[in-house]
Amino acid sequence: MNQIYLTSSDEDLLQLITEDDRLAFSELYDRYFKPLFNYVFSKVEDRFSAQEIVQELFVSLWQQREKKHIQVCRPYMFSMAKKLVINFYRKEFTRKHHYGQWEIQASVVTELTDQTILTADLQDKYERALQMLPAKCKDVFILSRQGFSNREIAAEMVISEKTVEQHITKALRILRQHLREHLAYLILASSLFS
């Protein structure tokens, strides 16, 4: 590298950078990369993030070279590094917040999906168990679940109330046996939805 750049002050290098002097930029980069990296690393404690922040600082410096008129280089560079570290933590906080929200939503969706699958499976097993009931027993049970009283069912089907009770008891016993594996889910679901 040209001796002129090695002996130039930081402020002279900044002036040359405003005139698109890439060698001056390279010299300033060589002088400040390591101290800025060490400073940023002490704040973020992650080598990759520290390197990214310092790179961003130098990219910004180059992109803003014609607009910025910096009087004193070192305080400016470290002040810029401090702002970028603060921005890094803001982004990290926002990212973690959004990720946390996403995890909560994903968990709710998973729970709803699991619940929907269990409910559909339970409904399917219930329908199959109903088909296993003798015809008259099934008709009595369905009417009882539609809100008809034992007396109304007996009158509708022209049977005694005692026979209605026997059919309902039989239906419940068969359904309970057939749906035994879902009993825990039924108990949980009834406590959640009641």
Residues 18 and 69 in one domain: yes
Residues 10 and 85 in one domain: yes
Dihedral sign of CA atoms 76, 12, 57, 36 in order: negative
Residues 89 and 13 in one domain: yes
Residue 10 lies in a domain: yes
Residue 116 lies in a domain: no
Residue 101 lies in a domain: no
User: In angstroms, rounded to a whole number, what is the distance separating the alpha carbons of residues 170 and 130?
Assistant: 11
Residues 68 and 17 in one domain: yes
Count up the domains in the chain and report the number.
Answer: 2
Residues 149 and 84 in one domain: no
What residues have CB less than 8 Å from 156, skipping those under 6 apart?
143, 148
Q: Record the tokens describing residue 119, joined without a space.
A: 């409910």
pLDDT for the residue numbered 113: 67
Residues 90 and 160 in one domain: no
Angle at 24 between CA 3 and CA 64, to 5 degrees: 170
Residues 88 and 142 in one domain: no
Residue 69 lies in a domain: yes
User: In angstroms, rounded to a whole number, what is the distance separating the alpha carbons of residues 61 and 68?
Assistant: 8
Domain that holds residue 39: 3-96
Residues 80 and 155 in one domain: no
Would you write out the chain's pLDDT as a tens digit for each of its 194 residues? 567 888 888 888 888 888 888 999 999 999 999 999 999 999 999 999 999 999 999 999 898 888 777 888 899 999 999 999 999 988 888 877 667 666 666 665 565 666 677 677 777 777 887 788 888 888 888 888 888 888 888 888 888 888 888 888 888 887 777 777 665 555 555 555 44
Residue 163 CB burial class (10 angstroms; 0-12, 13-18, ≥19) = middle
Residue 109 lies in a domain: no
User: In angstroms, rounded to a whole number, what is the distance separating the alpha carbons of residues 3 and 6?
Assistant: 5
Residue 165 lies in a domain: yes
Residue 147 lies in a domain: yes
pLDDT for the residue numbered 193: 46
Residues 82 and 26 in one domain: yes
Half-sphere exposure of 77 (CA within 13 A, CB side): 22
Residues 9 and 82 in one domain: yes
Residues 91 and 154 in one domain: no
Residue 126 CB burial class (10 angstroms; 0-12, 13-18, ≥19) = middle
Residue 124 lies in a domain: no
Tell me if 67 sits within 8 A of 44, measured CB to CB. Answer: no
pLDDT for the residue numbered 105: 66
pLDDT for the residue numbered 75: 92
